[in-house]
Amino acid sequence: MRIRNDESGQALVLTALCMTILLGFTGLAVDVGMLFHAKRNMQIAADAAATAAAVDFLYNPNPSMTSAIAAGQKAAQDNGVINGSGGAVVTINMPPSVGPNAGASGFIEAIVTTPNPTIFMNAFSALFSKGASSFRSVTVAARAVASVTGGSTCLYLTDTSGTALQLGGTSAALNAPGCGVYVNSPDTQALVTNGTGSNVNVSYLDVVGSSTSTHMPAGTLLNAATRANPLDSLPNPSTCDTTDSSTGTVSSSTTISALGVNKVYCFVNTVTLPNGSAAALTLNGPGVFVFQNGVSIGSGTTLTTNNATIDISGGSFNQASNSTLQLSADANVNDTYNGIALMVPSSNTTYQPNPQNPNKNDLTLFGSGQSTLNGIIYAPSAELNLQDQGATSTISCGHDTSSNICTTVIVSSLRLSGTLNIANYNSGNPTTSPLRVVALVE
């Protein structure tokens, strides 16, 4: 009876049971911590794989994704995850298979999985499952998505001094709601707005310098960080595959075709479409048409390019009022001038001087003329002028003014007293624009 009522040793039993439970939770915490650590490493590998694959695809576009997949798997391997080794799997998809960008072109997905061994979970699983461990390892996965998309800036003003953006009068309006404007000049008068009627509707307006104007457009950031000219390394065609010394005055409907990607067709003479002649000059690409002594588009005439680049290597580019300009660049990543609709290289020292800024070339494209463009205007030493008070110039794409595929303008400066509407070429050509950028988005 005394033995039956003896409770000595009970605390020891309870302590042993509690210690077992505490050890179990401690082991679980250790295993979970190790799995979280593995998850973090997997995420690093997935981020690296997605970014590397996207960068490779940027420079080696191929529908089969062979090179991009290899680059992504190599980046994962450099971060400790070797595809096919120890059960690890590195999968590269374009477009992504899931998520908010599923099925969207220009996005590359990396999924990294690998089994990770457990210690305490394995032991407890074996103890309570009679040796059959179901938690010997746990598969850890991570996912990342990188985008290869067009940049968000559609107007670069490259000038390194003086006023680079001037909005004059009460009717000046710059509309680029889908993209931003970058002003490179560090001058204290880098941005000048005359009057309170100037209207700027852009995603952002970054100015390296400052301004003393009392009326600042919404979204203006003064003293912004500097950026490099995104096309600074673009070469000027140095050789002519075809030399045309017969075309000069074009007074009727004329069509000329280039020879193919990276082929150069050179006009030796000044090409003129006379006022009132109803002349129509059509230049078919792919290829580059080099005007060695300029081109003049007279009133009532039309200049059209299809999948081609115009390069004004000498002379001027003049577009008269009531003329029509329709430019469409070749969106081919294998073309050196991919995406470039109109180019005026800095080496063109014979270009028409700007009457208001003698140290700058004058690129008067619009005025009251009609312009439809699908491509980039690249004239880093020229000032783009829209001088007609009250005039409206809409740089649209093809003939669809509602399209968001249009142009990016890279010029030295912009003098605006009318209305200029710009849509972003980059956003409409996310996988081919030469101004594409790579960014992690998921």
Mean pLDDT calculated for residue range 213-240: 84
Rounded (10°) CA dihedral 270, 276, 279, 285? 60
Predicted confidence (pLDDT) at residue 109 exceeds the cutoff of 90: yes
Q: Residue 427 and residue 177: Cα distance in Å, rounded?
A: 12
In DSSP notation, 294-315 reads -EEE-TT-EEEEES-EEEE-SS
Mind listing the pLDDT tens digit for each residue in 42-97?
Answer: 899 999 999 999 888 877 777 778 888 999 999 999 998 899 888 889 999 988 88
pLDDT of residue 255: 94
Sheet strands side by side (includes 107-117): 89-93, 107-117, 137-150, 436-440
- Provide the 8-state DSSP code for 44: H
The CA–CA distances, whole Å, from 145 to 20, 388, 435 equal 44, 47, 20
pLDDT band at 147 (very low <50, low <70, confident <90, very high): confident
Measure the CA–CA gap between 209 and 331, rounded to whole angstroms. 34
Per-residue pLDDT, averaged over 220-232, amounts to: 87
**Whole-angstrom Cα distance, residue 292 to residue 267?**
6
Write the single-letter amino acid at 58: L
How far is the C-alpha of 393 from the C-alpha of 323, rounded, in Å? 12
Spatial separation of the C-alpha atoms in residues 117 and 119, rounded to whole Å = 7
- Residue 282, beta-bridge partner list: 255, 304
Residue 393 structure tokens? 């110039």
What pLDDT is recorded for position 404?
36
